[in-house]
Structure 1
């Protein structure tokens, strides 16, 4: 429990200690089961691309940590699949996130960002997560999928329960899972009767035209994953980026003066304080050697993306925020065949969110000295981000 508390409060110090003393260590997992934690960059990157490390829970040994238990209609998703099923389903949805399609979304994303900032007025104090970092990506991904507006706040409450479950409230997680299953089942039924120009309608059409392409459980699970991952990871990417900039005002001012630096800045911000502490758990299909350790087949492997991204063996002075460094190869959005499908969209949303924020407010400062991090061992996520702001004067 002490290790878990350290990883939540200050994961970077804990990761430094582990990288130096025990880069592949058997630990107690998030639910009390044993697991192997990997923290050095080379080991993590190699493991992310190792086909012997399976995401399929069928390869987990008895008693191994398997992650959050979900019903079959939500569990048949890409985060639990290996090829060829993973390849088949990823190919179905990948065309929605091509650079060309993401580029076409930039103008609508900017309009949404401007509308959210308009609602804040010209001066005041707000929680920037609730007012901006959360509603922007939920609007974008729900519009892409075709989710009605009146269900979007419910979805945020449900995902909060799943990402940071409270052990004292086990029924809350079960209720959230049940509500999400009912929501997606009902939404798919509605889209079947009333198809529209959206991604979910396209997936339903693919399912109903060729059942071998996508089962009903895979369809429901895919909608669940796209909405959940496309929303939550981007909230964390934007929120963490803004917090890092407000903690480094000289970097914030540099971006304000030179917005052309934003693409490089987003990559460094993702490396420096990315949205995930851990990649999805993996299970060796045979005994594998990682670093100096041999991990038996079926035991759980947890790959720390956050620790790898601050490994000085790969990134010089990794504790520094440096927009001029070479960030190529950072692992904030994964690596290998399970690399984040929505990475181009997440990058675009983060760039646009930061650009709009810096253009709108000439003054933007933290309203409280210490951040409130969500008590999660998987996500690096702010519970809130209180800020004080003042709008820039109108341009002549």
Structure 2
């Protein structure tokens, strides 16, 4: 099957290509595919999504029509069906799935015009109000935590923004963990937040508020979260070795996606505790930077802080807390670092205490709204770059 490369990131162009690829007989469409990706794809492929490579390894994930529509139908079964607002980049899996859910429901998605701001979001949400046979059509959208933060910050002083956020039947939030304090603030404004867990390899979110969607299988193997079901990707284009490593089969032929996440699955509830590949060894002790980051984000004003690794002459490795200058909120770096070290020591242990702060004008994000951890690591590794600051 031939692959059509879409050069445009315009959501309307992507929507047209998806309509043909998912619902019709159109060619498979490649979104963000780098040079070198083959033009031929397996039969049934609808979309090839190349990840942002925030961890330093771009991957071209092949998603079938069946996987995408299975995911869309399972979402509708869980939260309902209606009109969708696209407020995410159209070339990433979360944006793709907003459009696929709308198409499967027989509707075109509303599209947020221009940059994402509280004003553009409010305008787009207001324009979606509609009814059929005297009944209001439910509305839905999907956001990343940084967007939720923007809307909550504005909504706490602007009633129009708060009403727009509260107007959605459900707001799916994924891409990274949503800090509990931010979730509480959003709920106080009337937002119905649904936390999602998944990845490009699972056609987007497939676990909502800790519980798998219909058809999704979960298991924990050697501490790793593994996912099976009809929404799993076919694999990575032109990378059979990595496909075989990440997508494994049981003796009965069942396919499982190895997420690389560590967690537990008890009484039908998934709890993800960190990443296998986000662990440092500091002074001979394994330290999960995900656990450190969760503690750091409980401190007032630091819901957007990021914890990244760095080398350490004495301990071999250590962690640095990266935050934006406004997050200091008048606190000295010395006092804030001391507060963070005490909090992390109490929750995780002394070896996990962050060594330093890196204060930037703003924390860099990838185009999909996630912290750009690869860039931050490179900054810390570059002797001529920005040096970590600690007093």
TM above 0.5: no
- Structure with more relative contact order (C-alpha pairs < 8 Å, separation 6 or more): 1
TM range (shorter): under 0.3
User: TM-score, normalised to structure 2's length?
Assistant: 0.24
